[in-house]
Structure 1
Amino acid sequence: MESSSSSSSSLSGFIAKATADVNGGFGLSDSRSDNLKGILLAVLASAFIGSSFIVKKKGLKRAGSSGPRASVGGYGYLLEPLWWIGMVTMIVGEIANFVAYIFAPAVLITPLGALSIIVSAVLADFLLNEKLQKMGILGCILCIVGSTMIVLHAPSERSLNSVEEIWGLATQPAFLVYTALAVASVLVLMFHCAPSYGQTNILVYIGICSIIGSLTVMSVKAIGIAIKLTLEGWSQVSCYQTWIFAMVAITCVITQLNYLNKVGTSFILKNCRPVFANVAKNKK
């Protein structure tokens, strides 16, 4: 009897262990599948976003030739169809990027955004006749290497079960200090540096977009998780934190789009100014 009981206990333990292993294996497989979907979507998003910069720049050039440039407060590009084609392309890319955040951790998706730089650089070489110099090629290689290294060595992301949990992480003292510093830096760049140096130094506008982008990633990730949990049956619509994250994301995205347009026209102005000067000199 004891032997039979012992055998039965051993068999039960073996079955339980096997079941746990199988479930764990399926969970790991599902996680890898979601990560792969997220990575593929992020790469696709980079292709759309990178090409949108080129199309929008061509639209900005056309608009700037017939009216005030965006870098000096002009909004004539809103009437340019080519700019809107680029804008639609960017929206498609951003939607793909947004969905990618739902499937995979932010630490995997965010670095892949650097691939849009490669796409823009290659297309600019062919479509805008902006030839890549040695330093530009080196920068593209570093982008690829850096993105690959981060993706390959990305830490596992903790499971989040509600927007309230994300809110708890976002309201920790360390992140609040970072947010305050980021907002203060952006305000200084927007109201002090941009009017004085924005048209001659492209780093001012790039700094604004980059710093704001760090807050955009956090809010978009929160919205993505809220949508995913809602579709799984755990509605996050009634949580006020969801709407706060949504407002933060909308504000950040609009600000980035505004200054991204200024980046394009600032670059055009900086490169064309010597040409205009030579033309004026020859006329004299």
Structure 2
Amino acid sequence: MVMSSDNVKGLVLAVSSSIFIGSSFIIKKKGLMKAGTTGTRAGSGGHSYLYEPWWWAGMITMIVGEIANFAAYAFAPAILVTPLGALSIIFSSVLAHFILKEKLHIFGMLGCVLCVVGSTTIVLHAPHERDIESVKQVWTLATEPGFLVYAAIVVVMVLVLIFYYVPRNGRTHMIVYIGICSLMGSLTVMCVKAVSIALKLTFEGNNQFKFFQAWFFTIVVIVCCILQINYLNKALDTFNTAVVSPVYYVMFTSLTILASMIMFKDWDSQNGSQIATELCGFVTILSGTFLLHKTKDMGSTPAAAAVPVTELVRQYSSNCIRDSSKHSDRHGSPDRNCRE
């Protein structure tokens, strides 16, 4: 299948975005770790990371990646751009292996390969971007009943997670923090796409910011991004980076594709074969992230046989000495088992 020039531009921008965002997870994690040694951890509600240069370096790297991602949505459909976020998982997992010493084992490497294969499949069969000549067209799509229902459900679920589940289960169940980020992320991407289209048309000479719709989408993007950054910091500081990245990716991508299908109707111009191929590519990516998740601790716990023999002898001898009074025979000598 021949890709359009706009899809190629979106592809290049999306890949660049994944490199920067994948690296930012590691840099921010180092900043959060350093900040946690001198102040209240972000997972406990602290904000000492705001004084840590490493965290700001990671934040700047993430902003660069998000700008590239932002631009990608102006040229390519969300169903092409969003799944390429799998590449950021590969970069963050590999860097976590070497820098943070969060081990990436053979099945994790296989997971990375599956992510690449799935992403390639989606890229080769992605639909073309629909022609949009005004931000008002995006507003019409966003105010259709189907998407309004989806947006209302997302807002209600986020509020329930923030006010009920975060105080009770936030530090023990990663899905709470990631759920907030992913749900809000799906709405953010739809608004980001609207703003990026408005900017693209404006740069072409057709000013879109004279319409209130462009400013409304911009405000929603800012609010949602602040909310996501806050809870993503909590997730990164509380849980293993090698787990946060893939789980966040799976939930975020799934919900974003769902939102895009409802709002932009990306699959209307494709046949069943193309849709099935894209779904297979997405399932392949999910399989890769599942492997990364399930093998994160493989080999991290030493086997019992790996305990030095001298340590076992020392422990056994000390137990015998401690309990000799309890296990002595009638002549007052230590128990036969200990002597042997």
Please classify the TM superposition score into its range, dividing by the shorter chain length.
0.7 to 0.9
Q: Which residue type is aligned with residue 41 of structure 1?
A: L
Aligned counterpart in structure 1 of residue 17 of structure 2, from 39, 45, 67: 45
What is the correspondence of 1:131-280 to structure 2 with a 5 Å cutoff?
131-133=103-105, 136-267=108-239
Equivalent residue, structure 1, for 2:68? 96
Give the Cα–Cα distance (whole angstroms) in 1 for the partners of residues 156 and 109 of structure 2. Answer: 34
Distance 1:99 1:34 in 2: 11
Match of 2:293 in 1: none
> Cα distance, 1:136 vs. partner?
3.6
Per-residue deviation, residues 184-208 of structure 1 (Å, max 9, x unmatched): 1111111111111111111211111
* Cα shift readout 1:74-133 (whole Å, capped 9, x = no counterpart): 000000011001111111111111111122222211111121111100000000000024
Deviation per residue, 1:46-65 (Å, 9 max, x gap): 00010001000000001111
How many matched pairs? 242
Look up the equivalent residue of 2:157 and give its one-letter code: S
Distance apart, 1:151 and its partner CA:
2.1
Structure 2 length as normaliser, TM-score? Answer: 0.68
Q: 1:211 deviation in Å?
A: 1.1
**Secondary structure of 1:114's partner?**
helix
Identical aligned residues as a percent: 61
Q: 1:139 to 1:189 in 2, by over 3 A?
A: farther
Q: Which moved more, 1:98-107 or 1:258-267?
A: 98-107
Structure with the bigger RCO (C-alpha within 8 Å, sep 6+) is: 2
Contact 2:39 2:46 in 1 (8 A): yes
Structure number with greater Rg is 2
> What SS class does the counterpart of residue 113 from structure 1 fall into?
helix
- Return closer, same or farther for 1:187/1:141 CA change in 2, 3 Å cut-off: farther
Query: 5+ residue gaps in structure 1?
Result: 1-28, 272-284
Aligned to 2:32: 60
Q: Is the CA contact (8 Å cut-off) linking 1:161 and 1:229 kept in structure 2?
A: yes
Q: Distance in 2 between matches of 1:228 and 1:235?
A: 9
- Segments of 5+ residues of structure 2 without an aligned counterpart are 244-295, 297-340
Confirm or deny: 8 A CA contact 2:77 2:127 kept in the other structure: no
Structure 2 counterpart of 1:127: 99
2:70 is the counterpart of 1:106: no
Runs of 4+ in 1 over 4 A off after TM superposition: 268-271
- Larger mean CA deviation between 56-65 and 185-194 belongs to 185-194
Q: TM-score, normalised by structure 1?
A: 0.80
Cα displacement (A) at 1:37? 1.7
